Amino acid sequence: MPDLLRRLRAAGVHVAVASSAKKDELAKYLDIAGITDLVDVTTSSDDVEQSKPAPDVFETALKKLGIKASDAVAIGDTPYDAVAAGEARIVTIGVLCGGFTEETLSQSGSAEIYAGPAGLLACFESSLLAK
């Protein structure tokens, strides 16, 4: 994941994490993943009334970033991510590292699906991230 986020930042993309975790849990997860310094904005379940699959965390992240949904791409590893992002009118890229099948992510609204962050990074230039 760090390599993908570095590539995004090199492309001038702002990175937000919109999580259903509590704020303190999210901070721990970002630290464990080694990506705390690669994230511009975080939104947790503490920031919203409803968590995924409601769109609240994504809508709050958009507000914090100051961008429109049409200018954003979500990356998620669960169908809840794709449904919530879709409700916020954000196109979603699914990654299979969350234990859900390609079919499940596709049926939930993921426009593209990759094996994981490394696979997405390898296909960066042809992915929705490059658009």
Q: Summarize pLDDT for 6-53 with one digit per residue, the tens.
A: 999 999 999 999 999 999 999 999 999 999 999 999 999 999 999 999
C-alpha to C-alpha distance for 61 and 63, rounded to whole angstroms: 5
Residue 70 sits in a domain whose CATH number is 3.40.50.1000
pLDDT of residue 41: 97
Structure tokens at 87: 């409700």
pLDDT of residue 106: 98
Residue 131 has pLDDT above 90, yes or no: no
Enclosing domain of residue 86: 2-130
In the chain, the amino acid numbered 12 is: G
Q: How many domains does the chain have?
A: 1
pLDDT of residue 63: 97
State what percent of residues in the chain have pLDDT above 90: 98
Nearest-CA neighbor of 89 among 110, 69, 66, 111? 69
pTM greater than the 0.75 cutoff: yes
pLDDT, tens digit (0-9, with 9 covering 90-100), for 81-128? 999 999 999 999 999 999 999 999 999 999 999 999 999 999 999 999
